[in-house]
Structures are given as C-alpha cells and as structure tokens.
C-alpha cells in the first residue's frame, strides 16, 4: 500500500443477511459508480458526490461491526468507480480481509479483471457481471451474473510435497435462487 492517504466514496454501510450465503455481513456500499446499469437496484450509488472516507475509518467501522457480531464483510462496488483505482481497491480488500472474510460485488463486464482484483485483495467471494434487466439479478435462474466462492486447490508431488496452490472459483450462483414450492392439495 502506498504512503498516500487512501479514501473511498462510502455511501452507506449496513448489516445484511442477503449478500453472502450463510453469513451476517457488514456491507460497505461504494458510490460514484460509472457502470449505470439500466434497472440498477441501488441508483444512489451512481451519484458523483459521495463523501470520501479514509481507509483507516473504513477499517475501524468494519472492525466495530465484526466485534458486534457480523462474521463477514462485503464491499458493494469499487471495480468501476470514479474515485477508485484497481490498486486502491485491492488495498481496501486486503486490509479488510485481515479483519474477516471478504466478498466483493462488481457490476463490471470484465470477469477476468474482477477475478484478479478478488485474488489480489484476498477475497473469499466474488459477484461479477453487470445487471441486465432482461436476465434479472442473482435471484433469477436466467441471470448473467455469477457468484463465486474462491477456494485454494493444492497439487502434491509423488512424495506428497506441496507443489502448487491455485485458486478455484466455485460457482455458487444457485444459492441465491428461490426454491419453488409446489402446492400440494
């Protein structure tokens, strides 16, 4: 992390049970989004004049939320925002991952870039893909968005020595789909 003071356009923070499966997550919503998805569920995140919050303040608030009972952190946005570079986003994610497991939600169309940011930021989860109204969000079985759990895979040699560790992106999008219950009469 560079010596300059990093600041982020934090629009809102909250506790959520909906964004990370089986987690009570402290959500950090970042503003100044340049994606402008038609039908965006959070248009307030597109506003240009979101107040900038220092990295230290973001980390202190995240630690307070974890101390109060949250067991994960989710950063909503950041991959396509006016005030955030890939380097500063990775710094934020990496620092947050020292507090609790972290997920990032990206509306970007560049899944490979999102995966790189998630890996370098030590994330456990990644939601990637723009919202396309015709396909719906994560709760739709037709969605173009993907939700991944990032897990390491290990390769051993013939003597059971560790040779390689690589990330594996396990697609868990289905965990957001509503189960249909048939009327039984």
pLDDT tens, residue by residue, 94-118: 999 999 999 999 988 999 999 999 9
DSSP string, 36-80: --TT-S-GGGG-TTPPEEEHHHHHHHHHHHHHTT--EEEEE--TT
Q: Let me know the angle formed at the C-alpha of 112 by 110 and 115, rounded to the nearest 5 degrees.
A: 110
| Contact partners, residue 111, CB within 8 Å, separation at least 6 | 128, 129, 146
What confidence score (pLDDT) does residue 1 get?
47
What confidence score (pLDDT) does residue 3 get?
40
- Distance CA(124)–CA(151), nearest Å, equals 7
- The average pLDDT across 122-131 equals 95
Tens digit of pLDDT for each residue in 4-61?
689 999 999 999 999 999 999 999 999 888 777 777 777 788 777 888 999 999 999 9
């Amino acid at each position: 992390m560079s010596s300059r003071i990093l600041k982020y356009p934090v629009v809102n923070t909250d506790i959520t049970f909906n964004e990370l499966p089986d987690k009570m997550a402290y959500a950090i919503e970042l503003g100044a989004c340049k994606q402008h998805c038609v039908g965006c569920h959070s248009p307030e995140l597109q506003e240009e004049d979101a107040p900038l919050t220092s990295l230290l303040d973001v980390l202190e608030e995240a630690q307070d939320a974890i101390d109060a009972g949250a067991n994960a952190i989710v950063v909503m946005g950041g991959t396509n925002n006016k005030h955030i570079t890939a380097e500063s986003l990775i710094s934020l994610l990496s620092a947050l991952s020292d507090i609790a497991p972290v997920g990032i939600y990206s509306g970007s169309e560049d899944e490979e870039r999102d995966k790189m940011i998630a890996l370098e930021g030590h994330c456990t989860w990644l939601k990637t893909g723009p919202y396309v109204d015709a396909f719906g969000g994560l709760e739709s079985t037709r969605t173009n968005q993907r939700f991944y759990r990032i897990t390491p895979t290990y390769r051993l040699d013939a003597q059971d020595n560790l040779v390689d560790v690589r990330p594996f992106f396990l697609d868990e999008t289905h965990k957001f789909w509503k189960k249909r219950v048939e009327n039984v009469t």
